Amino acid sequence: MASGDFCSPGEGVEILQQVCSKQLPPCNLSEEDLLQNPHFSRLLLSLSQHVDESGLSLSLAKEQAQAWKKVRLHKTAWLRLEILQRIIQELLVDYYVKTQDTKLTSEDKKDFVWMRARLPLEVEEQLKKKCFTLLCYHDPSSDSDSETLKAAKVWKLAEVLVGEKQQCQDAKSQQKEQIVLLEKKSATYSQVLLRCLALLQRLLQEHRLKTQSELDRINAQYLEIKCSAMILKLRMEELKILSDTYTAEKVEVHRLIRDRLEGAIRLQEQDMEKSRQVLNSYEVLGDEFDRLVKEYTQLKQATENKRWALQEFSKAYR
């Protein structure tokens, strides 16, 4: 098939989707699949011109239609004979039951000629009863009609049944098309839903990243305020314990001790500063430098001890 015989891409895709849903087995091909595989799309479009809606080739479909026509004719002839045979069997069974239960009159003792002459009338009567029964089953409102009206309705019953059968077949075909269309729409809706969920997730992530810094700042302020409140509460408890523990005389003694310790610390720091200057001056010395370092370390350790003692007294004073 020449490329010039094809319609526009959009129309071609629509035609191919109709072909896939009607003439070819449902393959659930999306528009994207058909556009990404143009050679396969051309093959499907070319193949659709040689098959019918059932997927058979046109020649096989024609032969199948003729075969089904012959089958229907043979089936109709067989049904006629089968109905006639069953009615005759029913008549014989009724006659046998009648001969067993009641005493037959001279008119009931039939010979073969008389039975053959009466049989068509009996068969016709049985067929009429069965036709009326079928009519009332199909249309219960016909039960109260006269025999003439029932006979007229029975005459058209076959045509009515054929029409109803065709309606059922059309409804089944439409249902099949609707099912295929529903499956396609369901697949499309699922894809759209997945894209929407991905977009929603991305928007949530972006929004969370924008607001996370502000939220962290607020949380940090809250924790800072809460920590300050806890510190103040602990300080108040400490002061309460100290006020209940120490008298004014003890506090004054502690103040004097603290002043003396602070003075000693200042002197010690002055000595340490001098030692540091000396260390800086004699840094290039060997053993002498090690001795000065040890001396400096001892002074620093002594200063730290006095500072610790001052802190302990300060705590006791506070």
Residue 192 within a domain: yes
> Which residue type occupies 310?
L
DSSP 208-275: HHHHHHHHHHHHHHHHHHHHHHHHHHHHHHHHHHHHHH--HHHHHHHHHHHHHHHHHHHHHHHHHHHH
The whole-number pLDDT of residue 253 equals 79
Tokens for 220, please give them.
């940090």
Residue 233 within a domain: yes
The structural domain count of the chain equals 1
Q: Say if residue 313 is exposed, middle or buried (CB neighbours under 10 Å; 0-12, 13-18, 19+).
A: buried
CA 105 to chain CA mean position, Å: 80
Is 17:31 a contact under the CB 8 Å cutoff?
yes
Quick one: DSSP state of residue 280? H
Residue 87 within a domain: no
Please give the model's pTM, rounded to 2 decimal places: 0.38
User: Domain range holding 175?
Assistant: 169-245
Residue 273 within a domain: no
Residue 218 within a domain: yes
Residue 117 within a domain: no
Is 24:47 a contact under the CB 8 Å cutoff?
yes
How many alpha carbons lie under 13 Å from residue 293 in its C-beta half-sphere?
Answer: 8
Q: What is the pLDDT along the chain (318 residues), one digit of tens a residue?
A: 333 344 444 555 665 666 665 555 555 566 676 677 777 777 777 777 777 766 677 788 888 889 989 998 998 899 888 888 888 888 777 766 766 666 655 555 575 566 677 778 888 888 888 888 888 888 888 888 888 888 888 888 888 888 998 999 899 988 888 887 888 788 788 888 888 888 888 887 777 767 777 777 888 888 889 888 998 998 888 878 777 777 777 777 777 888 888 888 888 888 888 877 776 776 666 666 677 778 878 888 888 887 787 777 776 655
Residue 251 within a domain: no
Is 58:40 a contact under the CB 8 Å cutoff?
no
Residue 212 within a domain: yes
